[in-house]
Structure 1
Amino acid sequence: MALLSLLIGAVTLGIIHHYLLQPLYFSPLSRIPGPTIYALTKWRLAWEDWCGRRTRTIHKLHEQYGPVVRIGPNEVHFNSLSALRTIYGPGSGFGRTDFYWMFDVYGKQNLFTFHSSQDHGDRKKLLANAYSKSNVIRGPVAEMVSERIQDYLSLIEDKKGEPDEIFSSLHYYSLDSITNFLYGPSSGGTEAMKGNQTHRALLGDILDPARRRLSWFAVHCPAFTKWLYTRIGLLGRVVAPLLPMRKPATYTGIRAHALKAMQDCKTEAKSGALSGNTIIGRLFKAVSAGMADLNDLEIASEVADHFLAGIDTTSDTLMFLIWALSLPENHHFQHRLIAEAQKIPQSSLDIHGAPTVEAADRLPFLDAVIKETLRLYAPLPASEPRQSSVDTTIDDYEIPAGTVVCMAPYSLHRNAEVFPEPWKFDPDRWLGEPEQVAEMKKWWWAFSSGGRMCIGMHLALAEMTLVPTVYRKYKTRIAPSSSGLATGITSRFEIFADDTYERVEEHTCNIEFVRN
């Protein structure tokens, strides 16, 4: 009996040390400020994830505790330029965590999910030129974007003055743009804007609100989630009610389309008919030339990842931009954008009489509007986790190897000392004093930074040529059915919208287009 009591006592002491004393007193992270409950268990923050409050909760913690906050037993959140340079700057030794594994496609890693900087860099070398600004703003890519813009204008014309639900129509625009860029028109390029219902249906699982629950389970219970979704037969039917999202799970349609597109492109590559201007064409060419050792699934995974990344981000930004300009209090910004777009000289218009991508790239007020939209309504506003394999120091705090460190555009973009009235949509802030603008640009993190900076940035900005093209012809205003509502998007576990509004319409934004 005495031996059993000693054993129970030892186990109890071990539990107390591991779960209470170690995180609160003996861990190097114990010096970092933050709520005690967050330091004791990861499930406190997981609850915020479940409730869709994570990013806003962390922002409030920064306001309370400062630029360094402990948000878990092994997780720290930062909000400073020095941390930004250390964690995400060029040559950083911080790699991506296993959080990104859920973005692997067909069981293969890709540019977005590689932990190793070496693996990421090797893959990026194959594609960087295709995404370069010089390649995107003129030539075949710019011409493709211009054609997609004309398709979007046709959608507006088809409404015959009735309001357009632009969340859907802008998703069709970004879908058609990214697939034609990646695969070309004959082997994977979509025609959602031209009414192809099969292609439009690819967006179905993006709209499913259960996507947020699936993301939560994939992050916090990855092994259990994988087990649930791999059950078949009788057991599969038994566990079906437990699935966070009914089968087929999120992105299934998109990934099936991407896999078939890869197979079609492979056939074209063998016959010599595959265009070298497409992303998949470049990858097949690199393999055949001995420049890369990639199998078919690795090629499919890489391109499918770009496919997924290129849909929501661009369309959500465009939606927020048009919504913000359509608010009555922002009509004066809209009028200035219309005036700027209408002053574009004839020599800078394409064959349709619309601004070229290169001309749009030179518009200063458009640039200010885009920057402000991405500041206030970043399509990926939440934390971007990283880990280092060695001990390091960030903002004077010792960070042991293996600690998860994060920063978020949401908090960086709402620093009131850098962005006065941070909740206000004000493009003019980007046209102010050069010193102030230079400081804001340091904190502006819409496309990440360093070696992991968004490879598709220039393509996304090229697709913004839609904005001056639309406003040369139309004024926009909020349709009565959406009056008083903020438009919202899904990002991971959360709905993001304009936080000054109490009521949010997720995945819906009705806009009236009125001819100038």
Structure 2
Amino acid sequence: MIPILCLGALLFGLVLFHVHKNLISSPLRHLPGPKSFAFTKWRLGYEEYRGMRTQCVNNLHKKYGEVVRVSPYEVSFSSLSALRKIYGSGSRFERDDFYQMFDAYDRKVLFSYSSGIDHRERKKILNSAYTKTAIMSPSNVDMIEEKVKDFLALVQRDSSATGAVEIFSALHYFAMDSVSHFVYGATSPGRTTAMKGTRQHRGIIDDMLDPARRKLFWYAVFWPRLTEMLYAQGAIVQKSLASFGLLPMKTPTYTGLRKHNFPVIQHLETQQLLGSDDSLASRLLAGTIPSAKASAPMDTLDVAAECSDHFLAGIDTTSNTLMWVIYQLSRPENEGFQSKLRAEIQALDGPAGSGTFIYPEKAGTLPYLDAVIRETLRLHAPSPGSEPRWSTNDEVIDGYTIPRGTVVSISPYTLHRQPQVFANPLRFDPERWLGPEDQVAERKRWFWAFSSGARMCIGVHLAMAEMTTLLANIYQNYWTHIPSEYLQVSPGMSARGDLFYDEHLSQVEEHKCWIQFVPIRALSTCLQGCV
């Protein structure tokens, strides 16, 4: 009896301690937000475990306003003034420890650097490979043309075999084949051919799309040392742990990707292929990127880590955005948008269905296509969740003093759903980006799909070139529709532990999206025969 009373007293004391520390004496105690979230990080942790953190924080902003305390040491914001203060040029906020999980081979990469100084030095090395001029070089344009034609061939094969194409996987193949060519080179063993059916390369995507990766992400955030220890064990121990349900998943996600990457870097180095092409890897290894030698030097492991990160970053983001574009244009209520896009393409390059290839230079000039992509990125940002930062100094944001060490964040998901900026925010409406200039300018101020400031996405020009070219050529040649049996099913996209889907639908199929591709010439022939 006495041990039970002692345990009860201990637990009661711990509760009182946390009440005093987090609710009574905390310098954040005056900030808006629910007390349960301010009391313990596990309240938000529960939402993260459910894969609903981002949606939960958005709902808190709806209830409490632009400033919400979402855990004992984290505050979420949703204003433009906070966006400029935290992420704008000259910001004193740094990335927090959250980003350490994106290190590769125990090396920092551009995306995971906490220090703004270190990030700036690494970015100097990488920037020239990602300028718009570099992306529009003949070798990269040829690469994009080749991959778009490979995707159209895949669509033709799969449509003939099944009547519909599962585009979630197919677009991941497209994005992986494209970025592997860009990172490793046209003749490198690192170049993947998943669209042509290479099973080993498709296995890399299968590894990435394992639904258990959301669970692994949660473990890595809340139990980082335990997760690292569990996966440091040998195969036999891991198997035993897995049998008791003590591993988040059988192997850490992205294992296949990193196993693919490292031997390729070793091959490029040992075969003396350095600088023999325009690929990112060979140029980094050879030091032929301007300032690569003058800035902080990169050894082989640094190059391997950076290439692994760029390989990964170029897959999910591009493929998920393309999937949502095609999904939205294929919904019956959005058929008018698809027709207008096709009319724009037809005006650019002759009759739709003519088979004329549309190159990146022309695809990037289509305003309606740009509006379609921008609206998709607004509604389905590839990284919709919070972007955590912290400062070593006390800061004032939106009138509140934020003590040093406090995590602050903003999410694209919440910014993009502000009803005073985006009327009917859950509605897919590309034409909101084609309205009066002053209204469009205001919406663009709230558009944050690629981040901003020094940490803005370095690969935006490559991603846009791939997306505009693929979409222009798809809708030059096909009508797309959702099969009737899938009209009430939303595809599910996982991003940093959360699950995102079409919020108008309640049934979700994670990492699947079925689309019918109807060739325009065949459709035109049918329509002529029916007149």
TM-score of the superposition, structure 1-length normalised? 0.93
The letter for the 2-side match of 1:95 is: E
How far off its partner does 1:138 sit? 4.2
Matches within 5 A, 1:200-219: 200-219=202-221
Equivalent residue number for residue 482 of structure 1: 486
Show the counterpart of 1:257. Answer: 260
Instruction: Please give the root-mean-square deviation of Cα atoms over the aligned residues, in Å.
Output: 2.2
What is the aligned partner in structure 1 of residue 39 from structure 2? 40
Instruction: Determine if contact 1:127/1:282 at 8 Å carries over to the other structure.
Output: no
Contact 2:75 2:408 (8 Å CA) reproduced: yes
Question: Cα deviations across residues 301-338 of structure 1 (Å, max 9, x unaligned)?
Answer: 00100111111110010001001000011000000111
One-letter identity of the residue aligned with 2:276: L
Q: Which residue of 1 aligns with 2:319?
A: 315
Cα distance in 2 between the residues matched to 1:507 and 1:197: 18
Contact 2:287 / 2:293 at 8 angstroms: preserved in 1? yes
Kindly indicate whether the alpha-carbon contact (under 8 Å) linking 2:172 and 2:316 is maintained by their aligned counterparts in 1. Answer: yes
Alignment of 1:309-348 (within 5 A): 309-345=313-349
CA contact (8 A) 1:165 1:509 kept: yes
Q: State the alpha-carbon separation in 2 of the partners of residues 272 and 502 from structure 1.
A: 51
Tell whether the 8 Å contact from 1:474 to 1:514 is kept in structure 2 after alignment.
Answer: yes
Residue 377 of structure 1, CA deviation: 0.8
**Which moved further from structure 2: 228-237 or 161-170?**
228-237
Alpha-carbon separation, structure 1, partners of 2:392 and 2:245: 36
Correspondences of 1:358-437 after superposition (within 5 Å): 358-437=361-440
Give the distance between the partners of 1:492 and 1:261, measured in 2 at CA.
27
Residues 340-384 of structure 1: per-residue CA shift (max 9 Å, x gap): 1122247xx9xx831111111110000000000000011111111
SS at structure 2 position matched to 1:212? helix
Of 215, 222, 225, 2:224 maps to 222
Separation (CA, whole Å) in 2 of partners of 1:409 and 1:271: 41
Q: Could you tell me how far apart the structure 1 residues matched to 2:92 and 2:229 are? A: 33
Task: Write the distance in 1 (CA, Å) between the matches of 2:134 and 2:184.
Answer: 16
- The residue number in structure 2 matching 1:165 is 166
Shift of 1:481: 3.5
Structure 2: how far apart are the matches of 1:338 and 1:503? 30
Contact 2:349 2:356 in 1 (8 A): no
SS across alignment from 1:293: coil
- Residues 17-28 of structure 1 correspond to what in structure 2 (within 5 A)? 18-28=17-27
Distance of aligned partners of 1:441 and 1:67 in 2 relative to their CA distance in 1, 3 Å threshold: same
Kept in 1, the 8 Å contact 2:93–2:389? The answer is yes
Q: C-alpha distance in 2, partners of 1:205/1:309?
A: 15
Segment drifting more, 483-492 vs 427-436: 483-492
Residues 210, 244 of structure 1: 8 Å contact kept:
no
Given the alignment of the two structures, is residue 83 of structure 1 paired with residue 82 of structure 2, yes or no? yes
Structure 2 unaligned blocks of 5 or more: 1-5, 521-531
Matched, 1:103 2:102: yes
Provide the rounded CA distance (Å) in 2 between the counterparts of 1:129 and 1:486: 39
Change (3 A) 1:160 1:81: closer
Gap change, CA 1:11 and 1:52, over 3 Å in 2: closer
Return the alpha-carbon distance in structure 2 between the equivalents of residues 67 and 434 of structure 1: 26
Paired with 1:469 and 1:232, the residues of 2 have a C-alpha distance of 48
Contact 2:211-2:510 within 8 A present in 1 as well: no
User: 1:117: how far off?
Assistant: 0.6
Q: Is the 8 A contact 1:265 1:274 kept in 2?
A: no
Within 2, Cα distance between the matches of 1:100 and 1:511? 35
Distance in 2, matches of 1:138 and 1:345, equals: 22
Q: Could you tell me which residue of structure 1 aligns to residue 49 of structure 2?
A: 50
Match of 1:232 among 234, 247, 251: 234
Q: Which residue of 2 aligns with 1:197?
A: 199
Match in the other structure for 2:523: none
- Helix, strand or coil at the partner of 2:324: helix
Query: Partners in 2 of 1:398 and 1:205 — Cα distance?
Result: 44
- Cα contact 2:159–2:165 (8 A) shared by 1: no
Residue correspondences, number: 504
Q: CA deviation at 1:476?
A: 0.5
**2:516 pairs with 508, 512, 515, which one?**
512
Task: Tell me the equivalent position of 2:115.
Answer: 116
- Measure how far apart 1:136 and its partner are: 1.3
Identity value in percent: 47
State the 1:402 CA deviation: 0.6
Relative distance call for 1:444 and 1:156 in structure 2 (3 A) is same
Letter of the structure 1 residue corresponding to residue 145 of structure 2 = S
How far is the alpha carbon of 1:91 from its aligned partner? 1.7
* Structure 1 Cα separation of the partners of residues 247 and 69 of structure 2: 29
Answer yes or no: is the 8 Å Cα contact 1:190–1:199 preserved in 2.
Answer: yes
Partner residue, 2:297 = 293
Q: Which residue of 2 aligns with 1:4?
A: none
Q: Distance in 2 between matches of 1:482 and 1:313?
A: 24
Amino acid at match of 2:248: M
Shift of 1:159: 2.7
Q: Deviations over 1:197-236 (max 9, x none)?
A: 1111111112211111110000001111111111237654
Unaligned runs of 5+ in 1: 1-6
SS at match of 2:68: strand
Distance 1:248 1:215 in 2: 12
User: Which one-letter code corresponds to 2:260 in the other structure?
Assistant: H
Secondary structure at the aligned position of 1:159 is classed as: helix
Contact 1:217 1:244 in 2 (8 A): no
After superposition, give the CA deviation of every residue in 1:28-48 in whole Å (9 maximum; x if it has no partner). 211110000111100000001
| Maintained 8 Å contact 2:219/2:248 | no
User: Judging changes above 3 Å, is the alpha-carbon distance between structure 1 residues 93 and 322 closer, same or farther for their aligned structure 2 residues?
Assistant: same
- Do the aligned partners of residues 89 and 323 (structure 1) sit closer, same or farther apart at CA in structure 2, a change above 3 Å counting? same
Aligned counterparts of 2:88 and 2:361: Cα–Cα separation in 1:
29
Task: State the 1:237 CA deviation.
Answer: 4.4
Residue matched to 1:184: 185
Task: Give how far 1:453 is off.
Answer: 0.5
Displacement of 1:503: 1.0
Corresponding residue number in structure 1 for 2:276 = 274
- Aligned-partner SS, 1:120: helix
Q: Is this contact kept in 2: 1:126–1:286, CA < 8 A?
A: no
Aligned with 1:114: secondary structure?
A: coil
Aligned partner of residue 489 in structure 1, secondary structure: strand
Structure 1 residue 242 displacement after superposition: 3.8
Report the Cα offset of residue 487 of structure 1.
Answer: 1.4
Q: Residues 86 and 195 from structure 1, CA distance in 2 versus in 1: closer, same or farther, beyond 3 angstroms?
A: same
Output the CA distance in 2 between the equivalents of 1:401 and 1:470: 50
Between 1:295-304 and 1:418-427, the stretch displaced more is 295-304
For residues 321 and 314 of structure 2, the distance between their equivalents in structure 1, rounded to whole angstroms, comes to 11
> Which residue identity lines up with residue 441 of structure 1 in the other structure?
K
Q: CA deviation at 1:267?
A: 2.4
Match of 1:76, SS state, is strand
Instruction: Write the distance in 1 (CA, Å) between the matches of 2:429 and 2:235.
Output: 56
Conserved 8 A contact 2:127-2:458: yes
